[in-house]
């Protein structure tokens, strides 16, 4: 799955948008369906109304037909009484009128006059005619009879009828609707079929149309129509039958007991109209598609805007950081210049008058102190870049806390003495004194906190460092609380929370007077955070501060200490008479080290490149050189490669102790040195005592080996 798509899916806001979109589509679909159904219903109703009107028209047609029949018959009938008494003439007249042999005339008492006589029971219209009213009636099996009185003034002389036998009823009165697609029949009030919807055919017994009329759904539909038929005169309804969706329609025939009822397939009525419903669906599909596209577009825009916002935020943070850095650099600039000024100034002063040894010594002391400050400052700046990169690798080794505290005391001895302060350490509250921890980082924490305390406490102040242990989360983990307390100038409550922020220093005159980069605490916090610990400060202006660091550290086994042997070894070792090879591409550096070593009565030889050093060792006798001080960054062949080459030689030459002297003194560099085969790693500018100690250690180790190797 592409990263972009994955990003889209996991973005919560996009998910919410997608959900809203889905909901909208659902809503649209529902609306669409609803509208479709409604439109269908309305179309159906429209067609039903049309059906009703059709039925009414057909009924009216039939009514006209009946009236025409009666009128025609009446005309014939009205002739009769005029031919008074002249029976023969009357008969002739009738015969002439009787073109289809269906006319009959009977007397008021029911006896025949011309043609057959029928009874009132069969044809109630005869009774009506006898009473003077035109009428129509149907007798199943006999046919449809139109009956009129032959009136003389207001008296009824005869009853004249025309009888249509069943067989030809359809031909004569059959109703044609929807161009033959509709099937209509005429029924009387008792639902007897007067005029069927198909011609009478002796051969066919059951007609398809009749079968349809007999179907349950159709019967039910006709009953439904009859509920409103007699009230409003016509009715129409849709029902599903064997022919599919069918429209039923009915209407009463005026001036009679009869009504028409018929059916027509829906498709005939619907012609073309069904497209309207399809249009509705189409419209909604289009709407849905548009909504979807709109939604996707919106999602894309959302994402873009989010990205833009993120970028803006990042830019803001970067700007802020950059601003802070600029400010820091500005401050640094001042802080760097101060010791530089001292170094330059006092150097000039010393050069001016070399004869006054005491004064020159004093100047050089000051230069020494200033250059040490400058070194510290530069270390801090380097640290800053590392903190910016964020990642801190921890190399856990076994740390013995009391030992570390002692080291700290040694380091802080001079500054404390200078300020006539008291610095006490106490780890009596620790049961498990050995822990797994990054020694360097822990040392840094302690050093930064304590040196801060010393810096911000005036002369005569008290600084204490106390470590306490309490049970940790699990039996092999301890909760170590490190408290660094001083009674110095403290910090104001507004500043306290910002103390651990990079580059932050309280802007007070007292603080400004103190040398510092504002990084110390930030570095502490960074390290503590990397160790998953906590650090906090309690402080009151004028009364002092207490820094509390809490670390959960894994307990370790105390390593065997052989301080006496170690001390003996170290004390025994002297550098007098040793020969050391100095490797550095910069002559000045070689000079400085050479001068330092010469004071210790050490002989030195110099090589200006790795390759030269390798050659010199190779050409020399084994054990000619006691040790090598190797710079790392050199052209042609760097320190690592040179070391590897030397080691590769094997034998006593290959075992020559090599100590790295490098501008880079970070953990990675130390690791690299160790990997290359170097025995130790010192940072430039080289500290005299550090160098001597390192050499002593290396020689001691060599002697041990020597001792162990000797038979």
Partner 1 sequence: MKKRALLILAVCLLALFLWQMLTIGAERRDSQSPLNKVGVLLNGSAQDGGFSQSLAEAARDVCEEKSLTFIRYDGVTVEAFPETVQNLMEEGCGLIVCDSEEFDPGLEQLAKDNPGVCFFNAMGAVTARNLSSCFRRTYQARYLLGITAGCQTVANEIGMIVSSFSSETIRQINAFTLGVRRVNENARVFVRCTNDPFDAETAAAVTNELLDAHSIDVLCCHGIPYAAMETANRRGVWLVGYVPGDEIPFPDTWLAGYAFDWKPFLTQCVEDWRANRFVGRQYSGGVRSGLVHLTPFGANVREETRDVVEAELARLLDGSFDVFFGPVRDRYGTVQVREGETMSDERILHGMNWFVEGVTPE
Q: How many chain residues interact with partner 1 (CB under 8 A)?
A: 39
At its nearest, how many Å lie between partner 1 and the CB of residue 507? 44
Say what the alpha-carbon torsion angle 383, 384, 388, 393 is, to the nearest 10 degrees.
10
At its nearest, how many Å lie between partner 1 and the CB of residue 323? 38
Binding residue (CB under 8 A) for partner 1 from 53, 142, 152, 409: 152
At its nearest, how many Å lie between partner 1 and the CB of residue 233? 6
| Interface with partner 1 in residues 241-300 (CB under 8 A) | 252, 254-255, 257
Beta-bridge partners for 421: none
Q: Yes or no: say if 39 and 276 are a contact pair by the CB < 8 Å rule.
A: yes
Which CB sits closer to partner 1, 16 or 417? Answer: 16
Which CB sits closer to partner 1, 117 or 360? Answer: 117
Binding residue (CB under 8 A) for partner 1 from 64, 131, 192, 320: 131
Distance CA 629, CA 197 (A): 125
Beta-bridge partners for 629: 582, 659
At its nearest, how many Å lie between partner 1 and the CB of residue 447? 58
Binding residue (CB under 8 A) for partner 1 from 86, 232, 285, 289: 232
Binding residue (CB under 8 A) for partner 1 from 154, 494, 557, 621: 154
Q: Is 133 in the site for partner 1 (CB under 8 A)?
A: yes
The string of DSSP codes covering 603-670 is EEEEESSHHHHHHHHHHSPTTS-SEEEEES--SSS-HHHHHHHHHHH-HHHHT--EEEEES--SHHHH
At its nearest, how many Å lie between partner 1 and the CB of residue 664? 60
| Interface with partner 1 in residues 628-687 (CB under 8 A) | none
Which CB sits closer to partner 1, 233 or 654? Answer: 233
Which CB sits closer to partner 1, 108 or 548? Answer: 108
Which CB sits closer to partner 1, 35 or 592? Answer: 35
Which CB sits closer to partner 1, 135 or 491? Answer: 135
Q: Is 576 in the site for partner 1 (CB under 8 A)?
A: no
Distance CA 174, CA 186 (A): 8
Beta strands in 379-432 (DSSP E): 397-400, 422-429
Binding segment (CB under 8 A) for partner 1, from list 145-153, 344-352, 414-422, 462-470: 145-153
The string of DSSP codes covering 301-352 is HHHHHHHHHHHHHHHHHHHHHHHHHHHHHHHHHHHHHHHHHHHHHHHHHHHH
Which CB sits closer to partner 1, 231 or 513? Answer: 231
Which CB sits closer to partner 1, 45 or 361? Answer: 45
Q: Is 119 in the site for partner 1 (CB under 8 A)?
A: yes
Which CB sits closer to partner 1, 152 or 443? Answer: 152
Binding residue (CB under 8 A) for partner 1 from 62, 106, 128, 611: 128
Q: Is 233 in the site for partner 1 (CB under 8 A)?
A: yes
Which CB sits closer to partner 1, 30 or 176? Answer: 30
The string of DSSP codes covering 169-197 is HHHHH--EEGGGTEEEEEE-TT--EEE-S
Backbone angles phi, psi at 79, to 5 degrees: -70, -35
For residue 517, give the nearest of 274, 363, 327 by alpha carbon: 327
Binding segment (CB under 8 A) for partner 1, from list 144-152, 455-463, 468-476, 606-614: 144-152
Distance CA 354, CA 442 (A): 44
Q: Yes or no: say if 524 and 537 are a contact pair by the CB < 8 Å rule.
A: no
Terminus-to-terminus CA distance in the chain, angstroms? Answer: 69
Q: Yes or no: say if 160 and 81 are a contact pair by the CB < 8 Å rule.
A: no
Binding residue (CB under 8 A) for partner 1 from 149, 221, 639, 657: 149
For residue 540, give the nearest of 491, 486, 502, 499 by alpha carbon: 491
The string of DSSP codes covering 487-534 is -S----TTTGGGTTSTT-----HHHHTS---S-HHHHHHHHHHHTT-E
Q: Is 82 in the site for partner 1 (CB under 8 A)?
A: no
Distance CA 60, CA 655 (A): 130
Binding residue (CB under 8 A) for partner 1 from 127, 504, 603, 667: 127
3-class state of residue 206 by DSSP:
coil
Which CB sits closer to partner 1, 79 or 687? Answer: 79
Which CB sits closer to partner 1, 228 or 267? Answer: 228
Binding segment (CB under 8 A) for partner 1, from list 101-109, 285-293, 304-312, 334-342: 101-109
| Interface with partner 1 in residues 19-78 (CB under 8 A) | 31, 34-35, 38, 41-42, 45
Under DSSP, the state recorded for 131 is: T
Q: Is 542 in the site for partner 1 (CB under 8 A)?
A: no
Q: Yes or no: say if 24 and 283 are a contact pair by the CB < 8 Å rule.
A: no
Which CB sits closer to partner 1, 41 or 595? Answer: 41
At its nearest, how many Å lie between partner 1 and the CB of residue 264? 20
| Interface with partner 1 in residues 172-231 (CB under 8 A) | 189, 226-231
Q: Yes or no: say if 458 and 489 are a contact pair by the CB < 8 Å rule.
A: yes
Q: Is 16 in the site for partner 1 (CB under 8 A)?
A: no
Binding residue (CB under 8 A) for partner 1 from 18, 24, 120, 193: 120
Under DSSP, the state recorded for 353 is: T
* Site residues (vs partner 1, CB under 8 A): 31, 34-35, 38, 41-42, 45, 107-110, 119-120, 127-128, 130-133, 149, 151-152, 154-157, 189, 226-233, 252, 254-255, 257
């Amino acid at each position: 799955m592409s990263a972009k798509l994955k990003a889209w899916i996991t973005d919560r806001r996009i998910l919410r948008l997608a959900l809203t979109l889905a909901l909208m589509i659902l809503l649209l679909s529902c609306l669409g369906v609803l509208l479709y159904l409604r439109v269908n219903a309305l179309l159906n109703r429209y067609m039903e109304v049309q059906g009703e009107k059709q039925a009414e028209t057909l009924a009216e047609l039939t009514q006209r037909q009946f009236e025409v029949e009666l009128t025609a018959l009446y005309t014939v009938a009205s002739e009769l009484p005029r031919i008074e008494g002249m029976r023969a003439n009357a008969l002739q007249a009738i015969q002439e009128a009787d073109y289809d042999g269906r006319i009959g005339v009977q007397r008021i008492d029911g006896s025949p006059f011309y043609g057959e006589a029928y009874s009132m029971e069969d044809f109630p219209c005869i009774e009506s005619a006898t009473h003077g009213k035109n009428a129509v009636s149907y007798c199943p099996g006999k046919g449809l009879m139109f009956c009129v009185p032959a009136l003389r003034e207001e008296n009824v002389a005869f009853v004249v009828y025309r009888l249509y036998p069943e067989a030809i009823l359809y031909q004569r009165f059959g109703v044609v609707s929807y161009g033959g697609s509709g099937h209509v029949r005429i029924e009387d009030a008792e639902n007897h079929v007067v005029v069927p919807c198909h011609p009478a055919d002796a051969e066919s017994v059951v007609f398809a149309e009749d079968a349809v009329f007999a179907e349950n759904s159709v019967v039910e539909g006709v009953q439904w129509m009859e509920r409103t038929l007699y009230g409003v005169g016509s009715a129409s309804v849709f029902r599903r039958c064997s022919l599919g969706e069918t429209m039923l329609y009915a209407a009463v025939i005026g001036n009679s007991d009869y009504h028409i009822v018929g059916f027509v397939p829906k498709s005939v009525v619907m012609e073309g109209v069904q497209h309207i419903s399809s249009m509705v669906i189409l419209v909604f599909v289009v709407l849905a598609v548009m909504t979807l596209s709109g939604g996707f577009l919106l999602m894309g825009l959302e994402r873009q805007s989010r990205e833009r916002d993120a970028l803006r935020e990042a830019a803001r943070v970067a700007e802020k950081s950059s601003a802070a850095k600029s400010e820091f650099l500005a401050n640094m600039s001042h802080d760097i210049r101060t010791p530089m000024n001292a170094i330059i100034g006092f150097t000039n002063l010393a050069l001016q008058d070399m004869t006054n040894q005491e004064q020159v010594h004093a100047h050089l002391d000051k230069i020494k102190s200033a250059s040490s400050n400058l070194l510290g400052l530069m270390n801090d700046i380097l640290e800053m870049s590392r903190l910016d990169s964020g990642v801190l690798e921890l190399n856990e080794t076994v740390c013995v806390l009391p030992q570390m505290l002692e080291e700290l005391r040694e380091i802080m001895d001079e500054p404390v003495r200078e300020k006539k302060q008291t610095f006490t350490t106490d780890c009596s509250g620790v049961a498990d004194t050995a822990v797994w921890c990054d020694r360097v980082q822990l040392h840094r924490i302690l050093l930064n906190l304590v040196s801060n305390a010393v810096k911000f406490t005036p002369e005569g102040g008290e600084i204490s460092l106390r470590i306490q242990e309490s049970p940790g989360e699990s039996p092999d983990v301890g909760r170590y609380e490190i408290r660094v307390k001083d009674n110095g100038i403290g910090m104001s409550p507004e500043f306290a929370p910002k103390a651990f922020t990079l580059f932050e220093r309280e802007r007070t005159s007292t603080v400004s007077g103190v040398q510092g980069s504002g990084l110390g605490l930030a570095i502490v916090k960074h390290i503590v955070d990397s160790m998953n610990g906590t650090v906090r400060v309690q402080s009151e202006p004028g009364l002092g501060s207490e820094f509390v660091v809490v670390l959960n550290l894994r307990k370790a086994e105390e390593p065997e200490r052989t301080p006496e042997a170690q001390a003996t070894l170290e004390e025994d070792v002297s550098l007098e008479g040793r020969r050391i090879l100095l490797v550095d591409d910069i002559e000045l550096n070689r000079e400085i080290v050479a001068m330092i070593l010469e004071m210790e009565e050490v002989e030195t030889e110099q090589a200006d490149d790795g390759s030269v050093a390798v050659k010199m060792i190779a050409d020399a006798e084994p054990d000619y050189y006691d040790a090598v001080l190797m710079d790392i960054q050199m052209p042609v062949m760097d320190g690592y490669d040179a070391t590897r080459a030397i080691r590769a030689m094997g034998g006593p030459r290959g075992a020559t102790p090599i100590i790295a002297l490098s501008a880079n003194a970070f953990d990675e560099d130390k690791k690299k040195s160790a990997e290359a085969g170097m025995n130790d790693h010192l940072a430039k500018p080289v500290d005299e005592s550090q160098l001597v100690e390192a050499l002593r250690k290396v020689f001691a180790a060599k002697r041990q080996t020597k001792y162990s190797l000797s038979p």
